[in-house]
Structure 1
Amino acid sequence: MKEVMAIVRMNMMNQTKRALSEAGISSMTAKEVLGRGKGLVDYKLLEGAEKGYEEAVAQLGQSQRLIPKRLILVVVPDKLVSKVVKTIVKVNKTGKSGDGKIFVMPAMNSFSVRTGESGDSVLDEV
């Protein structure tokens, strides 16, 4: 089993949640986080640059501000990792800086507190 950790734009959370659910992945955890990638994006500057303002274009990349994001955690059997990653990418890819990151990490085991089950049986099985 693997843990898929995705960091996406705040405004993409509902679409991402819906797409994962439609793909058969209903179990997830989401959290509001702050961060920045290597692009050092300031969204006000980015918006100005997209409109063609030279001042905004010149200042892109100089911001150290942390940007509000959503962190999504999904633990799935190995066979569903590709489906989860592809679904998240499909929904969140705009081709612009700040689209997010996805990390896939091993998960050693999982347990259901309510039933006492463990392993893949407590995960989404599509």
Structure 2
Amino acid sequence: MKEITAVIRMNMVNKTKEALAEAGVPAFFALEAQGRGKGLINSALLQGAAKGYEEAAELLGEKGRLYPKRVFTVVVEDTQVEDVVTTIMEVNRTGKPGDGKIFVAPVFDSVRVRTGERGAKSID
């Protein structure tokens, strides 16, 4: 099993939900988050702003702010990983910075609390 975590734009939530359902993955978690990528950020300005230098904060302007994002998490069988990743990418790719990131991590076990089922049975 693998855990797929995708950080996407807020305005892509409904399209992503629909695409995952169409891909046969109707169960997932979605969390609100804030963040930003590293692009176009001058680390010296960030350090200066953190130290309280007003000039650095002014030069940083909007580039230093955190942007609202949505984090989708889904656990799937290994055979579904590429389909899910491809689906998320196709729906969320605009070609502009801020399209998001996808992380894939191993899941060693899972347990359905209600029944005690483990592994693949717990995520079916």
User: TM-score normalized by structure 2?
Assistant: 0.80
Mapped pair 1:86 → 2:89: no
Write the distance in 1 (CA, Å) between the matches of 2:17 and 2:60: 31
Question: How far off is 1:40 after superposition?
Answer: 4.9
- Return the letter of the residue paired with 1:119: G
- The residue aligned with 2:77 is 77
Write the distance in 2 (CA, Å) between the matches of 1:13 and 1:66: 18
Please give the per-residue CA displacement for 1:60-91, whole angstroms capped at 9, x wherever unaligned: 99711100000000011111010110000000
- The residue aligned with 2:119 is 119
Kept after mapping to 2: 8 A contact 1:40/1:65? no
Map 1:1-126; keep pairs closer than 5 Å: 1-40=1-40, 63-124=63-124
Write the distance in 2 (CA, Å) between the matches of 1:80 and 1:101: 18
User: TM-score normalized by structure 1?
Assistant: 0.79
Q: 4+ runs of 1 displaced by more than 2 Å?
A: 59-62
Judging by fraction of residues, say which structure has more helix.
Answer: 2
Stretches of structure 2 lacking an aligned partner (at least 5 in a row) = 42-58
Stretches of structure 1 lacking an aligned partner (at least 5 in a row) = 42-58
